[in-house]
Copies of this chain bind each other. A is one copy, B any other.
Amino acid sequence: MSKRKICVVITARPSYSRIKTALAAIKNHPELELQLVVAASALLDRYGSAVNYIQKDGFEVTAKVFNVLEGENLTAAAKTTGIGILELSTVFDNLSPDIVVTIADRFETMATAISASYMNIPLAHIQGGEVTGNIDEKVRHSITKLADYHFVASEGAHARVLKLGENPSFVFNTGCPSIDLAAEVLKSPKLDFDIYQKYGGVGTAPDLQNGYWVVMQHPVTTEVQSSRKHIEETLFAMKEIQQPVLWFWPNVDAGADGTSTGIRAFREKYDLSNFHFFKNMEPNDFLKLLVNSKGLIGNSSVGIRECAFLGVPVINIGTRQHARDRGNNVIDVDYNREEILLALRKHESHPNPPSSTVYGGGDAGKRIADLLANLELKFHKTITY
Range, interface on chain A: 35 or more
A193 contacts which chain B residues (CB < 8 A)? none
| Residues of A74-111 contacting chain B, CB below 8 A | 74-79, 81-87, 89-94, 107, 110-111
A116 — nearest CB in chain B belongs to which residue?
Answer: B78
| CB–CB B68/A118 < 8 A | no
- Tell me, in angstroms, the Cα distance from A385 to B130 when the chains sit together: 12
Identify the 5 closest CB pairs spanning chains A and B, nearest first: A82-B85, A82-B86, A78-B118, A68-B70, A141-B145
A40 — nearest CB in chain B belongs to which residue?
Answer: B70
A163 contacts which chain B residues (CB < 8 A)? 165, 383, 385
| CB–CB B118/A379 < 8 A | no
| CB–CB B82/A119 < 8 A | no
**Chain B CB within 10 Å, residue with most, of A87, A131, A138:** A138
Is the contact region of chain A dominated by helix, strand, or loop, or is it mixed? helix
Asked whether A75 and B82 contact (CB < 8 A) given A164-B165, A379-B222, A383-B131, the answer is: no
| CB–CB B146/A142 < 8 A | yes
Asked whether A160 and B385 contact (CB < 8 A) given A66-B69, A82-B84, A94-B63, the answer is: yes
| CB–CB A141/B383 < 8 A | yes
- Tell me, in angstroms, the Cα distance from A383 to B137 when the chains sit together: 8
A92 contacts which chain B residues (CB < 8 A)? 75
A93 — nearest CB in chain B belongs to which residue?
Answer: B75
Q: Does A183 contact B (CB under 8 A)?
A: no
A142 contacts which chain B residues (CB < 8 A)? 142-143, 145-146
- Tell me, in angstroms, the Cα distance from A202 to B267 when the chains sit together: 12
- Tell me, in angstroms, the Cα distance from A201 to B64 when the chains sit together: 36
A145 contacts which chain B residues (CB < 8 A)? 138, 141-142, 144-145, 164
A254 contacts which chain B residues (CB < 8 A)? 118
A141 — nearest CB in chain B belongs to which residue?
Answer: B145
A44 contacts which chain B residues (CB < 8 A)? 70-71
| CB–CB B118/A90 < 8 A | no
| CB–CB A67/B69 < 8 A | yes
Q: Does A120 contact B (CB under 8 A)?
A: yes
| CB–CB A43/B71 < 8 A | yes
| CB–CB A75/B66 < 8 A | yes
Q: Does A117 contact B (CB under 8 A)?
A: yes
Q: Does A229 contact B (CB under 8 A)?
A: no
| CB–CB B222/A74 < 8 A | no
CB distance from A38 to the nearest CB of B (A): 11
Given contacts A63-B90, A82-B114, A117-B138, 6 further A-B contacts (CB under 8 A): A75-B90, A75-B92, A78-B118, A82-B83, A82-B86, A137-B381
- Tell me, in angstroms, the Cα distance from A108 to B163 when the chains sit together: 26
Asked whether A110 and B120 contact (CB < 8 A) given A66-B93, A90-B90, A133-B380, the answer is: no
Select A74's contact among B67, B81, B120, B144, beta carbons within 8 Å: B120
Chain A 45-78 against B: per-residue CB contact (8 Å), 1 yes, 0 no? 1000000000000000001111111111111111
**Chain B CB within 10 Å, residue with most, of A65, A69, A381:** A69
Asked whether A119 and B70 contact (CB < 8 A) given A82-B83, A146-B138, the answer is: no
| CB–CB A89/B85 < 8 A | no
CB distance from A79 to the nearest CB of B (A): 5
